Amino acid sequence: MDFELPADLRAYLTELDEFIEREIEPLEQTGDNIRFFDHRREDARTDWDRGGLPSAEWEELLAESRRRADAAGHYRYAFPNEFGGRDGTNLGMAVIREHLAHRGLGLHCDLQNEHAIVANNVGLLLMLEYGSPAQKEQWVDGLAAGTRFFAFGITEPEHGSDATHMETTAVRDGDDWVINGTKTWNTGVHIADADLIFARTSGKAGDGRGITAFLVPTDAPGFEVEEYLWTFNMPTDHARISLTGVRVPDSAIFGQEGRGLAVVQHFFNENRIRQAASSLGAAQYCVDRAVAYAKERKPFGKPLSSNQAIQFQLVELHTQCEMLRALVHKTAWSMDKYGTFAVSEQVSMCNYWANRLCCEAADRAMQVHGGLGYSRYTPFEHIYRHHRRYRITEGAEEIQMRRVAGYLFGFMDRAAVKGVGGASGQG
């Protein structure tokens, strides 16, 4: 059993660091761009006059960093070689996402809006897996370059994590479908060319089958953004939208009719393991910063680090980071070897624990730093507020634990999903 990371992956982390220091950090320091990362970050990033949306200057800075990363051959790392990528693996992406988050806040990786110089573009991976030939021709190049984007419309105001009871419906009308319903938490819809809308097309409430995904243009008649929901961490790009008699052709179906939840589950498994890796990196950053500060801060004439009350809590967090890292690496490696759905149980373990651990590490780092830790002059409050979101989104931690319990207590069959690409019906 070999726990050593592949040599080419270790070399790539060095290559990434050199690119960040050469291209991204100077851009971050140009003019007053640092305002997006220092104590002014929330205000600088938010266009309060446009309902709290991200400011144009902030989004343009992110776009410029993506352009530079793409030109340097980093942005498309996870994509197939034929689309300009490096055939990146799940293990590679997990290690990279942790590494970038471990560097702390910066233009190289700002998780508030899933931005990173190595793209976590699950939309492209879904398009390659489920898109029709016509959809691929229309979307792949733009998705790969980060110039086109579709939002994800699954969550409904009255049902939250329960996708099987959705009230949005699509009814066939000749060669078209007519969609009616409401979605919420449609992240990024303000810049999206389309929204991937999940609607019931057959069956009854609670059925896993009978839900279909549609690529709906955001400028379609009857598609309306009702509001952008203000959140714990601003700016917001999380919209509540309504669909009233929205008409789309049969060619708008994404994947198979009635099998939309397979798309959802694929998205979640791919994204959850990378999200867990990012939370792990941010948690380790908080622990490392707290340790460094405890060694230099000397109240009452001695370093904080000499107090066991400081030592023991950071030791526990550091130990949990190390154990989680082993599970994240093993799970990502297993996804590469056995398939995306082969380790759904472990993906849920990684996800709920990493997100909780990050919040605990950020909270402890605030405590160690005292009043300064509570201020916006340190990054911990920002990290806490952002990662607190992940304990709810894409399946709340209770949903993740319920999923693990399903396998643990025999309500779900591990063998049924091992290596066969099937989606479980829970979580």
Q: Which long-range contacts (CB under 8 A, 24 or more apart) does 403-410 make?
A: 403/344, 403/345, 403/348, 403/427, 404/345, 404/348, 404/349, 407/345
Select which of 28, 345, 360, 394 is catalytic: 394
Is 372 within 8 Å of 319 (Cβ atoms)? Answer: no
Q: Are 344 and 419 in contact (CB under 8 A)?
A: no
Backbone angles phi, psi at 33, to 5 degrees: -60, -25
Residues 265/192, Cβ–Cβ less than 8 Å: no
Q: Are 303 and 294 in contact (CB under 8 A)?
A: yes
Whether the bond into 54 is cis, omega within 30 of 0: no
Q: Are 248 and 214 in contact (CB under 8 A)?
A: yes
25 is catalytic: no
Burial annotation 38-70 (CB, 10 A radius, 16+ → b, else e): eeebbebbbeeeebbbbbeebbebbeebbebbb
- Quote the Cα angle for 308-309-315, to 5°: 70
Max CA pair span of the chain: 81
Q: Looking at the DSSP assignment, which residues form a beta bridge with residue 173? A: 176
Q: How far apart are the first and last CA of the chain?
A: 32
The answer to whether 254 and 130 are in contact (CB under 8 A) is: yes
User: Cβ distance 362 to 397 under 8 Å?
Assistant: no
Q: Coil, strand or helix: which one is 395?
A: coil
* Residues whose CB falls within 8 Å of the CB of residue 69, separated by 6 or more in sequence, listed in order: 19, 23, 24, 75, 117, 118
**Contact indicator for 88, 125 with CB cutoff of 8 Å:** no
Residue whose pair of structure tokens reads 């707290």 in the numeric block: 290
Mutual angle of helices 260-296 and 90-102, in 10-degree steps: 40
- What is the DSSP code string of 74-135? -TTTTS-GGGT-----HHHHHHHHHHHHHT-SSTTEEGGGTEESS---HHHHHHHHH--HHH
Catalytic positions are 394
